Amino acid sequence: MTAKTLYDKLWDSHLAHQAKDGSVLLYIDRHLVHEVTSPQAYEGLKLAGRKPWRVDSVVATADHNTPTRNWERGLDGIEDPVSRLQVETLDQNMKEFGAKVYFPFLDRKQGIVHVIGPEQGATLPGMTLVCGDSHTSTHGALGCLAFGIGTSEVEHVLATQCLVAKKTKSMQVVVDGALGHGVTAKDVILAIIGKIGTAGGTGYTIEFAGEAIRGLSMEGRMTLCNMSIEGGARAGMVAVDDKTIEYVKGRPLAPKGAMWDRAVSYWRTLVSDPGSKFDKVVTLDAAAIQPQVTWGTNPQMVTTIDGKVPDPAQEKDPVQREWMERALKYMDLKPNTPITEIRPDKIFIGACTNSRIEDLRAAAAVAKGRHVAPSVKLAIVVPGSGLVKEQAEKEGLDKIFTAAGFEWRQPGCSLCLGMNDDLASPGDRIASTSNRNFEGRQGPGARTHLVSPAMAVAAAVAGHFVDVRKV
């Protein structure tokens, strides 16, 4: 038998129909739904007189528009009527069409869709999983095929349980060796994107492998896979190992008893076979990866904490040069400025990239006994879900953050994209644990620097970026 990659195995086990031209109907096991990309899909379903194919595959929550304060005011706490209508529309669609589980706004278990999927065991190894959200790649950390889709595809999956798909090429990203102290999954993925570029993964599915990846916790692997899309790859994944199985065990929607044993013996096969072929292999040396900070308006525009803002004049390609110049103008940065001289005035710890319990623990470890610098106008911590929040409070992390001058908020997507009222203002400079530093992403005219949670807290305390390993 030919050796198969993990991607081959996941793909081959979900082919519901194959057309002559090579396109297939790929069967979808899990469909995550949130309020922003689903209303038009449900409306389309209704207009065509269609019903969802398998309601049990749907797990839904409201996360993008939900406020991180004023929960005591209920739905009225969503000040913007347009946002409120979108949240109410999801409530209505869930009532009309149903779901396996729905965590509405204000529910104790509500949270960012990419945090609650794994947390609930709604994400399992071996699955195909989709969501109308590009960061669906997150779930690949559990050894499944997970990718973001548009609203037309949301409707297609609801109606047919399938997607019209074509197999992508495969890329293996190998991170060899052990990561240095203070270097996190966020630094690894930013370093990978810095190396392959923002379109380096376009047309590929990435499998992350190597000793450093095996060494990451499940949360770290989620951070890694989360940003696959920032390298252009729709899906990223990590093979199943003991950590995967240990993580899934006992979660509410995970199999139990004899079914569990049967599932585990199948999940153990979800690794790339020795000798399996990838279309492209990229290798990084873990020991060489340093804490990363982005300086531009795309995640590819990244350097190390001891680095400098690059000089566009050194760039030979005129299109690239123009892009860099535009980015520096937007970011209000001069070429050759040391990264440690950049002074963020807002701090955001959260988003589907870095809002899990381990992220909050890493952030709190740096915040403990320290205080946010006076030059910082706002520092917020937004847990990824209600359950992450509860756990953090049990561990006393909330008290560490508030004592250090951070605001402790309710869960949601929040300042990652500012669809709720956590919006940055023009000229704000933000040290952010989110995934995108695009122009206007966190608010019109706002300037984003992507970093790990520990690096964000270190910057908050120092008032400028600083190497967390030296704090």
Partner 1 sequence: MDKFVKQEGLVVPLDRSNVDTDAVIPKQYLKSIKRTGYGPNLFDEWRYLDHGEPGMDHSRRPLNPNFVLNQPRYRGATVLLARENFGCGSSREHAPWALLQYGFQAVIAPSFADIFYSNSLKNGLLLIKLDAKIVDRLFREVEGNSGYRLAVDLEAQTVTAPGGESFRFDIDPFAKHSLLNGLDEIGLSLEHAADVKAFEAKHRESQPWLFT
Q: Which helix (H) or strand (E) holds 77?
A: none
Considering only residues 410-469, where is the footprint of partner 1 by CB under 8 A?
417-419, 436, 438-441, 444
> Taking a C-beta distance cutoff of 8 angstroms, is the pair 461, 370 a contact?
yes
Size of the site for partner 1 (CB under 8 A): 82
Considering only residues 169-208, where is the footprint of partner 1 by CB under 8 A?
198-199, 202-203
Q: How many CA atoms lie within 13 A of 261 on its CB side?
A: 2
Please tell me what DSSP assigns to residue 293.
E
> Is residue 127 involved in binding partner 1 (CB under 8 A)?
yes
Minimum CB separation of residue 160 from partner 1 in Å reads 5
Minimum CB separation of residue 61 from partner 1 in Å reads 17
Nearer to partner 1, 128 or 290 (CB): 128
Q: How many CB atoms lie within 10 A of CB 94?
A: 21
Nearer to partner 1, 25 or 468 (CB): 25
Q: Tell me, residue by residue from 273 to 312, as one string, x for binding to partner 1 by CB under 8 A and - for no binding.
A: -------------------------x-x------------
> Is residue 50 involved in binding partner 1 (CB under 8 A)?
yes
113-120 and 386-394 are packed helices; what angle lies between their axes, rounded to 10 degrees? 70
> Is residue 402 involved in binding partner 1 (CB under 8 A)?
no
Considering only residues 52-71, where is the footprint of partner 1 by CB under 8 A?
53-54, 56, 64-65
Instruction: Give the C-alpha separation, 33 to 59, whole Å.
Output: 6
> Is residue 124 involved in binding partner 1 (CB under 8 A)?
yes
Exactly one of 71, 85, 370, 466 binds partner 1 (CB under 8 A); which one?
85
The interface region with partner 1, picked from 67-75, 109-117, 129-137, 365-373 by CB under 8 A, is 129-137
Task: Name every residue whose Cβ is closer than 8 Å to that of residue 42 and which is 6 or more positions away in sequence.
Answer: 93, 96, 97, 155, 158
Q: Tell me, residue by residue from 325 to 344, as one string, x for binding to partner 1 by CB under 8 A and - for no binding.
A: -x------------------
Considering only residues 208-237, where is the footprint of partner 1 by CB under 8 A?
229-230, 232-234
> Is residue 155 involved in binding partner 1 (CB under 8 A)?
yes
Distances (CA, A) of 415 to 289, 437, 440: 27, 12, 11
> Is residue 153 involved in binding partner 1 (CB under 8 A)?
yes
> Is residue 48 involved in binding partner 1 (CB under 8 A)?
yes
Minimum CB separation of residue 34 from partner 1 in Å reads 11
Nearest Cα neighbor of 382 from 41, 69, 107 is: 69
Distances (CA, A) of 279 to 3, 6, 169, 271: 14, 13, 6, 17
> Taking a C-beta distance cutoff of 8 angstroms, is the pair 100, 117 a contact?
no
Distances (CA, A) of 392 to 242, 397, 403, 441: 25, 5, 15, 28
Q: In residues, how long is the chain?
A: 471
> Taking a C-beta distance cutoff of 8 angstroms, is the pair 236, 142 a contact?
no
The interface region with partner 1, picked from 174-182, 259-267, 340-348, 449-457 by CB under 8 A, is 259-267
Which amino acid is present at 390? E
> Is residue 21 involved in binding partner 1 (CB under 8 A)?
yes
